[in-house]
Amino acid sequence: MYLVKDIGGAIALMGVSLVLLGTWPVVLAVLERRGRLPQHTYLDYSITNFLAALLVAFTFGQIGADTPETPNFLTQLTQMQDNWPSILFAMSGGIFNGLGTLATQYGWAFVGLSVTEVMASSLKVVIGTTLNYFLDGRINKAEILFPGVGCFLIAACLGSLVHSSNAADNQEKLSSAMVNHSNTNGDTENEELTKHLLEIEQPKDCEEQEPEVAPAAQAVEKLEAGTADFLVDLEGKRSIKVLGSNTFLGLGIVTFAGVSYSLFSPAFNLATNDQWHTLGEGVPHMVVYTAFFYFSLACFAIGIALNIWFLYHPMVGVPRSSLTAYLKDWKGRDLALVAGMVCGLGNAFQFMAGQAAGYAAADAVQVHHLSSIQAVCSTAVETKFLLF
C-alpha cells in the first residue's frame, strides 16, 4: 500500500487535487445550462466517480508490502467483521458528500456557479475544518488556521448578499424589458411573437433541427451577457427554470450543500484514524484506500437511488424523465463521465494528502484555491462559453 509520509508529497497531491476538484463543477453547470437534465448528468457522474475509487484502490492500495499494521486494500476488504465501525463512518461520509453534490447541482442553477461554490466551500471550511482540527489532535497551528476560517465565514455571508443582489438585479432587468416591449410594440406584434415562440417550441426530429443550429448560435452570439434578453434566452435553454424563483430557495439549497460537505471529511477522518476508539484492541486502522472505497460506494448508492427517484418524481420544476430516456440521452454524456472521474481522483488525492498533513489543513488549502479556480472558470462559463 502506498502511503504519503512527508509534507512535500502531501503538498504535491494537494496541488493535483485542487486542479481536479476545481474543474468538474464547471462541466456539470455547462451541461445543465445546455439543457441536459440534472438527473441524467448525475447518474453518469456517479458511475465514473465510483470507478475512480476502484482504480485508486486497486493501484495505490495494492502497492507495497501487506503488513498487519498497514494491510493492503484487498486484505482489509475481507476484515469487515473487525472494522465495521470504520466502514460506517466512511459510508456516512459518502452519503454526506453525495447529498452535498446533489444539492450543489441545483444550487448552481438558482444561485450561480461562483456564488454557490464560494458559499458551500466557506461553510465546509467553517464547520468541517474546525471539526477536523480537533479530530487531528490540533496538529495544525490554530493562529494560522482559524483566521482563514474566519475569512471564509465572512465569505459565506457576503455570498448570500451577492445572491440577493443578483436576484433583485435580474428581476429589475426583466421588468424593465417587459415595460419597454409593451410600450414599443402593439398587440398584433405581441400575438405574432407568441405564435413564433410556440412554433419554435414544437417538437421536431433531429433532421429538422440540424439546419437551424448555426443560425441559432449566431443569434445567441449577439446577446450581451447579463442583459434581459440573455437571461430569457438562457432560461429557455436550461433544464432547471429559475427566473422568478424565491431568493431563499437558492440560499437554502446552497446552505444544505455546504453543511453536507462540511461533514464528509470529519467522517472520513474518523474512519481512518479512529479517534473515538470504536475498533477492537489490536485491530488496525482502516487504510485510506479502503475507507475511500466504502466512501465512494455510499456516495454511488445514494446518487443512483435518489436520481432514479427524481427521474419519475422531479423537483423544482425539472421535466419528468425515465430510465429509457436516460439511456438514450447521449448528448453531453462524455462530459458527465469525465467530470465524475476527475472528481473521484481529486477526492482520493485530497484524502491521501490528509493522512500526512492533517485533514484540517488539507480542507483549508483545497477550498481556498478551489474557490478561486471555480470563480474564474464560472465567470467564463456564465458569459462566453455558454453561447456554444
- Lowest mean pLDDT, pick from 6-20, 89-103, 270-284: 6-20
Reported as a pLDDT band with limits 50, 70 and 90, residue 36 is: very high
- Mean pLDDT calculated for residue range 117-139: 77
Of 75, 66, 22, 63, give the one whose Cα is nearest residue 365: 22
pLDDT of amino acid 209: 38
pLDDT of amino acid 14: 83
* 66-75, 188-197, 202-211: range with highest mean pLDDT: 66-75
Reported as a pLDDT band with limits 50, 70 and 90, residue 342 is: very high
CA 309, 312, 313, 314 torsion: positive or negative? Answer: positive
- Mean pLDDT calculated for residue range 321-342: 96
Per cent of the chain over pLDDT 90 is 39
DSSP 320-386: P--HHHHHH--TTHHHHHHHHHHHHHHHHHHHHHHHHH-HHHHHHHHHHHHHHHHHHHHHHHTTTGG
pLDDT of amino acid 47: 97
- Mean pLDDT calculated for residue range 245-271: 88
pLDDT of amino acid 356: 67
Q: What is the pLDDT of residues 67-91, one digit of tens each?
A: 888 899 999 999 999 999 999 999 9
Reported as a pLDDT band with limits 50, 70 and 90, residue 376 is: very low
pLDDT of amino acid 206: 35
Q: What is the pLDDT of residues 137-166, one digit of tens each?
A: 665 555 555 565 566 567 656 655 664 566
pTM above 0.85, yes or no: no
pLDDT of amino acid 42: 97
pLDDT of amino acid 8: 82
DSSP 19-62: HHHTTHHHHHHHHHHTT--HHHHHHHHHHHHHHHHHHHHHHGGG
- Mean pLDDT calculated for residue range 61-70: 86
